[in-house]
Amino acid sequence: MEWAVFIAGALICLLGAFGVVTRTNPVHAALSLVGTLWGMAVLFIAQEAEFLAAVQVIVYAGSIVVLFLFVIMLLGVDTTEDLTVEPLTGQRTGAIVAGVLLAGGLIAVFSFGAITGAESVAAPFDPSAANPLEIGRVLFTDYLWAFEITSALLVIAVTGAVVLARHRPDSYVDEDLPGDTLPIETEEAR
């Protein structure tokens, strides 16, 4: 039974991943990404990580991909990329060879090696207990400091995004603003 779930989830994931890489239209790539994230959530459930599967669907498929689609709509939907043109000769072949080597090397490590490591005593994984309850207990005891740091990270990210995307009414496309010129350049211009 778990094999069937795994094969279905893996197929969805792989098809979506290939779609992200090969689709020229960014909207199609974003929708393929939803497929991958969905298949990943299936695999999470198959591995008894129900809470993270729900979070995966809500955060990734629900908000991150929507954010991507918003930006695509903002930038223009018709910006397709010509994948037949290769600006740097041999770069694409090199990338694919490197990717195959990376995947092959990692799979070799998994198949010829063994999973080592002691079983946890601090946070044992009990599949019979409610998963959100267990994660909450570990998160608010052992990982409390990291959790607090996360809030600072999110505030910094929101502030940074607001500053970066702030609209400057006096800015035109491809025209230098006074603040964009380096002090050395202005010295030379004089």
Partner 1 sequence: MFAAAPPPEVYLGLSAVLFAIGAVGLLVRRNALVMFMCVELMLNAVNLSFITYARALDDLGGQVAVFFVLVVAAAEVVVGLGIIVSIFRRRRYADADDLSLLKG
| Residue closer to partner 1 (CB basis): 146 or 186 | 146
Sketch the per residue contact string, 101 through 140, with partner 1: x for CB under 8 A, - otherwise. Answer: -xx--xx--xx---x-xxxx-xxxx-----x--xx--xx-
Query: Distance between CA 35 and CA 13 in Å, rounded?
Result: 7
Per CB under 8 A, contacts with partner 1 among 171-190 are: 171, 173-174, 180
Q: What three-state secondary structure class fits 13? A: helix
Tell me the two tokens of residue 84: 């037949």
- Told to check if 55 binds partner 1 by CB under 8 A, we report yes
| Shortest CB 95 distance to partner 1, Å | 4
User: How far is Cα 36 from Cα 158, in angstroms, rounded to an integer?
Assistant: 26
| SS3 at position 113 | coil
Position among 73, 130, 161, 186 found at the interface with partner 1 (CB under 8 A): 161
Segment 79 to 108, residues that bind partner 1, using CB under 8 A: 79, 81, 83, 87, 91-92, 94-96, 98-100, 102-103, 106-107
The encoded tokens of residue 17 equal 């991943």
Distance (Å, whole) CA 68 – CA 37: 14
